[in-house]
Amino acid sequence: MAGLSHSINLVFGSDFLSSFSRVPSRIQTKVNKVISGFKNNPTATGYNFESLHTKDQHLCSIRIDQDYRGIMYKTDKGETLILLWVDKHDDAYTWAQNKVFHIHPETGSLQMIDLADVGMADENTLENTQAEEHPDDLFAAFRDRELVKLGIPEIVIPFIRTIKTEDDLETAEYKLPSEAWEALFMLYTGETLQDVYNTVVVPKMQVDTEDVESSLQQADSQRRFVVITDDESLKDMLTYPLDAWRVFLHPSQRKIVRMQTHGPARVLGGAGTGKTVVAMHRAKYLAEEVFSSSTDKILFTTYTKNLAADIKENLRKICSTELLKRIDVVNIDGWVSEFLRKRSYTYSYVSNTERKDFWNEAELSYEGTDTFPLQFFMDEWDQIIQQQGITTMKGYFKAKRIGRGRSLRVQQRKDIWPVFEEYRKLLDVRMKYEYADAARTVTHMLQESKDILPYRAVVVDEAQDLDAVTFRLLLAISENHSNNKDNTLFITGDAHQRIYGQKIVLSHCGIDIRGRSMRLKVNYRTPEEIRAWAQHILNGREIDDLDGGLDTMKGYHSLIHGENPDIRKFDTYGQEIDTLIEYINGLISGGAAPEAICIAVRTNDLVIRYQGALESRGMELYQIQAHDERSNPGIRIATMHRVKGLEFNHMICPGVNEHILPLASVLATQDNEDAKEDFELKERSLFFVAVTRARKSVMISSFGISSSFLT
């Protein structure tokens, strides 16, 4: 092999980061020192950099200390080194023994195969079997060349012909390049060859199977390899624990992150498909490469303050300090309030207590003969008057009331209107406003005065929880700086997870996404068994796509497998607590970190109740507040609303009882069947959100009478 260049390109493999995270911290420090020094002066003595006698002649080792070695791949030119593995001396060499690397001729991606995993003694021999001996394999309907075209390495085709059952396919997941297994899984679930090709393959005009440097720029390569461009990036990679999403994006995600759009774009995706990850990387990409002037800013917004805090914390992991200064991460309510405060707007938000008092007083203005509960007036105001910006009785007569269930005659609307007028009067007299009023005020200001904002683009996460008033505002923000609409509005959401907002239609808000709508279908977080079970929580309900159509779950699937949810029912609360303690202790004794276990319950009162019961039995719990401070010890506990946007290895959902899900105290206030059905769907979505936070396992329990959601 050629010797090392005086200047090398350093590349990290995902397996290296996994192995690095498992070695002792003192070894991590040594790895950091060795790799940093080696990158800056690869020809210096003392590194014991040497070729290995393995199946692939490009593999080399580097000395970390007396006991530990790093495994690298060196290109023929010696200009690029790929860090592959770090481990104790013998274990590192064993790991490397049967690894071979190839550039796929169709996709151009760099793929790694362990010959022993696929039953091969070398690259030309399949041990103990021949392809013709297995005409009944799971993929017998597909020709070898068709499988290769999907990104499957040709050398593993004989192994694939031995796959006869779903269990065989699951076992093969960890023996094949991720894109190859993903293609096989999609074929197994019934997708056509063309559909699979369109999903998993990014075709290339020309592939040089000897050019590793070019291969590392391909989308599939970048799901497992990342090129280090500077010393600061190298330091970050070796200093901080990494979540895979920080560096390794799936090609379908990377394509969306970097796409050029001539107008607003919408991305849908089920739980665990990486919508927020894509949104964060999109904000980084826009700030770094599209709107890169020091005066350009990106607004990243979402519904809740807690989720905004979580996103900002995660953006710190992928953005430099200077870049992060140009990305404002804030919940939209807080952004509106701050915008008006800076302009000395004299009104202030009405509190929940004030709002209830105002409505009780306003209700006295009703003199009609029909009976309406107070909640009806409040819902009519929130869902019709405020969302449609109605300011006159004539406007109310013409208002569309789709989804309100109960129809109203003209006379009834005439009788009701004075209640709304009185409520508005009470707000004005006390110089109070609701969020919808504030958002409309800001929208009008932005439409009348151009170039008063620094934002060149707006990235929206959890769009399903925002309302029509907010989307009109976001459109105004995105268009305030320039008439050029390229790449200015990027929206991600999933109505299956709507737990706050109302059904909206983006086109009715002036947002045209035609031709710029994408879906993410691959779940990278939740095992398929949990994902499929959680899907049944929604009970076949029709779910919208945020723009007047329907969003189905067809094609959604998880790439990982695990155990089915553990569903338990108890006669008493005491029995449930006893079992929770036993279950949690079992997880911890099995190696689970307490911080990776989360208990999610429906209400704040239940958080207090379960936390008190478990702490009284000696367990250490940490209640998640503004965001999950990972450095704080203890089992996590929070409401189901609070865990939205978070992930944990093990989720526990106790107290899933009748009257709790759906929450009976709120369900009783809904004034018609449509409103009750809408609330129940939100409760189902909330439960769905909690369950799908899990990376490995879910335990769900109830006592007394179980929730109907469990049947």
Question: What CATH number should be reported for the domain holding residue 466?
Answer: 3.40.50.300
pLDDT of 8: 79
User: Are 188 and 261 contained in the same domain?
Assistant: no
User: Are 356 and 465 contained in the same domain?
Assistant: no
Of 444, 456, 443, 529, the residue nearest 488 (C-alpha): 456
Structure-token match 């999950």, residue found: 628
DSSP 209-259: TT-HHHHTTSTTGGGTEEEE-SHHHHHHHHHS---GGGT---HHHHHHHT-
| Residues making up the chain, counted from first to last | 711
Let me know if residue 172 belongs to a domain: yes
Of 102, 198, 188, the residue nearest 142 (C-alpha): 188
pLDDT of 77: 78
pTM above threshold 0.85: no
Q: Are 279 and 300 in contact (CB under 8 A)?
A: yes
Q: Which domain holds residue 500?
A: 249-342+444-537
Of 611, 609, 615, the residue nearest 624 (C-alpha): 611
pLDDT of 157: 94
pLDDT of 251: 79
User: Are 694 and 584 contained in the same domain?
Assistant: yes
* CATH code of 56's domain: 3.30.2310.20
Structure-token match 């200009």, residue found: 79
What's the DSSP call for residue 657? B
Let me know if residue 611 belongs to a domain: yes
| Number of helices followed by number of strands (H, E) in the chain | 27, 26
Please give the tally of structural domains in the chain. 5
User: Are 118 and 90 contained in the same domain?
Assistant: no
User: Are 156 and 23 contained in the same domain?
Assistant: no
405, 429, 453 — which closes off a domain?
429
pLDDT of 131: 42
Let me know if residue 397 belongs to a domain: yes
User: Are 198 and 325 contained in the same domain?
Assistant: no
User: Are 593 and 647 contained in the same domain?
Assistant: yes
User: Are 520 and 667 contained in the same domain?
Assistant: no
User: Are 505 and 461 contained in the same domain?
Assistant: yes
Let me know if residue 701 belongs to a domain: yes
Let me know if residue 234 belongs to a domain: yes
pLDDT per residue as tens digits for the range 153-189: 999 999 999 999 988 988 898 899 988 988 998 898 8
Q: Are 559 and 522 in contact (CB under 8 A)?
A: yes
**Which residue pairs from 154-160 have beta carbons closer than 8 angstroms and sit at least 24 positions apart in sequence?**
155/100, 155/102, 155/113, 155/118, 155/120, 155/123, 156/113, 156/118, 156/180, 157/131, 158/118, 158/119, 158/120, 158/126, 158/129, 158/130, 158/131, 159/118, 159/119, 159/120, 159/126, 160/184
User: Are 460 and 586 contained in the same domain?
Assistant: no
User: Are 621 and 527 contained in the same domain?
Assistant: no
Let me know if residue 493 belongs to a domain: yes
User: Are 312 and 256 contained in the same domain?
Assistant: yes
Let me know if residue 438 belongs to a domain: no
Let me know if residue 617 belongs to a domain: yes
The two three-digit tokens of residue 612, written as one number? 């008190």
* Low-confidence residues of the chain: pLDDT under 70: 1-7, 121-135, 202-205, 236-237, 239-245, 626-630
Q: Residue 241's CB: how many other CB atoms inside 10 A? A: 11
Of 645, 660, 650, 657, the residue nearest 704 (C-alpha): 657
Helix axes 604-615, 573-589, angle to 10 degrees: 70
444 vs 331: CA distance, rounded Å: 20
Asked if the peptide bond before residue 662 counts as cis, ω within 30 degrees of 0, the response is yes
Q: Residue 614's CB: how many other CB atoms inside 10 A? A: 20
pLDDT of 401: 84
680 vs 378: CA distance, rounded Å: 19
Question: Would you say the C-alpha torsion 69, 70, 73, 76 has a positive or negative sign?
Answer: negative
pLDDT of 91: 96
230 vs 36: CA distance, rounded Å: 11
